[in-house]
A and B are shown apart, each in its own frame.
Chain A
Amino acid sequence: MRRWRYWLAAGVVLAFGLVRVPLETAMESEWQRLYLRGPALDLGMREEIGQMSYVAALGGFRSLVASMLTLKAHIHWENTEYAQLGKTYDLVLGLQPRTASYWEEYGWHRGWNERSFYLNHPEMNEGLRRELAEEAGEAARVILDRGIRNNPDEYTLNLRQAELLRDKLNDYCGAAGYFAQAAALGGPAYARRFAAYMLARCEGKEEEALESLRALYLEGAEQRLPTLVTELGRLERELGVPEEERLVDGGANP
């Protein structure tokens, strides 16, 4: 075979490379913008997930590796191995930060399961139990916030954060903001009501809460659920709304 054909073939490959490199660079940027391409894999991850999984993740099986790791995390949870569970979820989220359900699940494990595990631990003293439970709750808050930053269009993460703040961390002002954000992102109808309920419990925000509750009440019968009516009545009384202007048991009731 004539040698020049080999040289010509090599020349074609290189020339083709010169043409396609700018195209591929542009496509890569577009894929990142469309979230079709995950973040670059951290080399340190290789030691954590093992050589084979790392190669698999590099070879286009990132999502599958993440799914398998969540199964592993599930086993850690069953065995109440929360340190390992945390490490495993860090890997999962490094692989797939745009899967909101992973953030949700990790937040739930830390904020609910791990927190309760410490609070009910029979071999720890009261102080340590409370400290560790507080740490777990705080960790869940940070995780869900990171999840929200990575998935700003997902209302479910805002709902989970609001529930954590309301049920575990007693931060009603914060919860009101997250419920309102969930509602703004197309979340369920109850998110708006809960935003108003949380505001009603937030010190200094009573006036704002009253406005929100009144607006909801005036929307119609479907919003007049027992909690809403009770909260509105309480605020109207506490804020000294004149009886003729009150919506609950007052003159302004339509």
Chain B
Amino acid sequence: MSSIAAGGLRQRPGLLLGAFALGCSAMLGMGDLATHEEIRLRQAEDLRNALDQTLSAVPHDNNPAADTVAVEDEGRAVTVYRARLAGEVRGVAFNWVSEAGYGGPITLTVGIGRDGRIASVRVLSHSETPGLGDKIDVRKSDWIRGFDGRGLDTGTRWAVRKDGGEFDQFAGATITPRAVVGAVHASLKFFAGNRARLLAVPAGPGGDAAATRSETPS
């Protein structure tokens, strides 16, 4: 029976191709069903880890991954994660992409405190030259920690030394650190420009509960 069907299909390549396309689609569909939930969990874990790293210096008692605000910036939507202590927003973290990298876009996760100073910056993904530009990765070098505690009001010259700033470039690689310094500076300006909105306690259910809690004398 199946050999007859197969023999018939051999005579009609179009049908055969269609059958394979159908079979492959079915396999992909099943694969997606089997892995979808697991992948979502793993990605949520990744996000939590990234936020833990960038907001570790900001005291908070909520889950920043679940407390988000979407802010429009020059046509792109930035999802901002907020760290709160007793309802008050103490710091925010968000991803910031620099298109000025040497090997492609560099995605940073930037954590900024309520005071507008950098809490921590980490590189989420990049494709810079191994051994040169990849020193921006905290696993390779401590360079990225140099931003901690700096803000727009700390008198920092936001550029690499070659451009008259105060951040080291790497031997043989100036474009990568220049891109990162520029992106961190831009992310601080973005924070300053949207400060009121980012730090406002929303009128949602979470915000109400938090507000009540802070008003009620305990």
Partners in one complex: no
Interface residues of A (CB under 8 A from B): none
Interface residues of B (CB under 8 A from A): none
